[in-house]
Amino acid sequence: MQEIKYCVAFYFIFGLLILGLLISCSQQGIIVTADTTKIKGLDDCFVQLGTPIESGGPILKRLCIQDIDKVLAFSKLEETRSKEIKSLLCGKKADPVKFKKYFDSLNKKERFNLIKAFEFYGYEINAYGC
């Protein structure tokens, strides 16, 4: 009987560990990395899109200062959508959760075009392992 209690406790704890791993690895935001074959000097940099620019590091600063307008123009999104994305990424209301929610609200073609635009300018979206 004692062995059964230990077995149940073991599987309960093991199950909690697996559940914790699944929750921690679930996508909480959208990560951008630099394609170092296209953008030099940003090795091993990544940032969650929507992070305030002050704390986003070199990749977000480069994106917001140099590339965001080019990326959005290349994506061919409607102007209102482009403005909202720029505001959620680089503006005063930058927020990873709000950006992800807005990104998820885009239709499949808009998301595809936006991701391809990021790639064209040397950024990779969610190109990371958990």
With vertex at residue 95, the alpha carbon angle to CA 61 and CA 93, rounded to the nearest 5 degrees, is 85
φ, ψ for residue 37 (rounded to 5)? -80, -20
Please write the tens of the pLDDT for every residue from 42-87. 655 677 888 887 777 788 888 899 999 999 999 999 999 999 999 9
Please write the tens of the pLDDT for every residue from 17-28. 454 433 444 456
pTM above 0.85, yes or no: no
Mean per-residue pLDDT of the chain: 77
Query: Tokens standing for 71?
Result: 């990326």
